[in-house]
Structure 1
Amino acid sequence: MPSRKSSLVIAIAALLVVVIAFWAGFVAYPFLAPRLTGSPRPSSVQTTLDRDTYLKLSGEIYDTLSLQYYQKVDAGKLLKGQVAGLGDPYTELFTPAEAADFREQLSGEYVGIGVVITPSAKADAIEIVRVFAGTPAEEAGLKPGDLI
């Protein structure tokens, strides 16, 4: 009758063999699977699509979501999500109104009295943060920190 110590050693050895076998299978599977299934192992995963393939795939995704998603699909949000998926904080998809606002900001032209304002933390008023040179606000004597 085996002793308790030898039973423990056998159990640990068996567990170790099982763990090693699973690990070996996990590591070897990507190399052995093509031989077992008969399909060739791709040399690399395709990461870019040509324009026509991309448009076709996007259309299929949209159609599937439109039919099977539990809510109505907002195409604008879907497109914004695709652009956001790039992970670039400087790339953004604008609506036509957002694009017009952005172009106006870039043009260097603005309409107003020539101040930057913010809600005041000190009082129930608007605080002037900046006064632009050569504007009606400067001519009127407004200064940063003034409350309106």
Structure 2
Amino acid sequence: MELQLSMVVLEVADLEASVRFYRRLGLDLPDAVPGGRPVVAHRMGSGVTLLLITGFASTYDPTWSRPVGRGYSQMLEFYVGEDAVVDSRWNELVDAGYVGRMPPTQTVGPYAAIVEDPDGNAILLTSDEAASPES
């Protein structure tokens, strides 16, 4: 069997704030089940599921601690379509108060922008056809 990336799990501090961000980004996230586990999952057309959860890491990994500072070691890349969509998503998110790390820029690779989600994760918005689920 070929190894497949099936899920990206983000341990978030505030589930509602994260759901608002990813909805504003353009994902059709469901609401968390009231009184249920603090988790929201969304399966994308590419087959990868984005899972937002609170309390999992701290419950099952006694050495876990939330990262501090403004650095990041990973980025989640979201293919949003054309350059104009990168621009509009960037503007919408920054205007809504989210931290912009890199305005829309023609990099040595794709046209892209970086914004932070509520937990400081770097979100790369791109028009790179190589990131399209159809590629």
User: Does TM-score exceed 0.5, indicating one fold?
Assistant: no
Task: Decide which structure has greater strand share.
Answer: 2
Greater percentage in helix? 1
Give the number of the structure whose alpha-carbon radius of gyration is greater: 1
TM-score normalised by structure 2 residue count: 0.18
Q: Which has the higher contact order (CA 8 A, sep 6+)?
A: 2
